[in-house]
């Protein structure tokens, strides 16, 4: 009785871990997940490029950081099209 419940608990934990792993992978590997990932990357590059550009007074870095915002807006359009 005790061993049975222990095995059930282990099986349940294994199945839960499997489902969690599968869900995370599907979220990242799907088209929407990849778009969101690239969008987050573009925003990250914007913030780094903008802050460094402001720090070292580089107009070209600041200008390119706004180019990155333009890329991020294109990704948003792609996300909207994918959702609709």
Burial class (CB in 10 A: 0-12, 13-18, 19+), 3: exposed
Task: Choose the stretch contacting Zn ion; rule: CB under 5 A; options: 3-11, 22-30, 39-47, 68-76.
Answer: 68-76
CB of 42 to Zn ion, least distance (A): 8
Burial class (CB in 10 A: 0-12, 13-18, 19+), 61: middle
Rule CB under 5 A: choose which of 41, 45, 61, 71 binds Zn ion: 71
CB of 50 to Zn ion, least distance (A): 15
Q: For residue 30, what is the DSSP state?
A: S
CB of 59 to Zn ion, least distance (A): 18
Tell me which residue has tokens 């099986």: 11
Residues 26-55 that bind Zn ion (CB under 5 A): none
Binding residues for Zn ion, rule: CB under 5 A, are: 71
């Amino acid at each position: 009785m005790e061993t049975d419940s222990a095995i059930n608990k282990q099986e349940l934990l294994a199945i839960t871990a499997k489902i969690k792993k599968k869900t995370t992978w599907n979220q990242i590997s799907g088209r929407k997940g990849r778009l969101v990932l690239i969008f987050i990357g573009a925003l990250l590059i914007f913030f780094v490029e903008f802050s460094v550009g402001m720090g070292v007074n580089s107009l070209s870095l600041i200008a390119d950081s706004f180019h990155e915002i333009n890329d991020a807006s294109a990704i948003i359009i792609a996300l909207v099209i994918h959702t609709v």
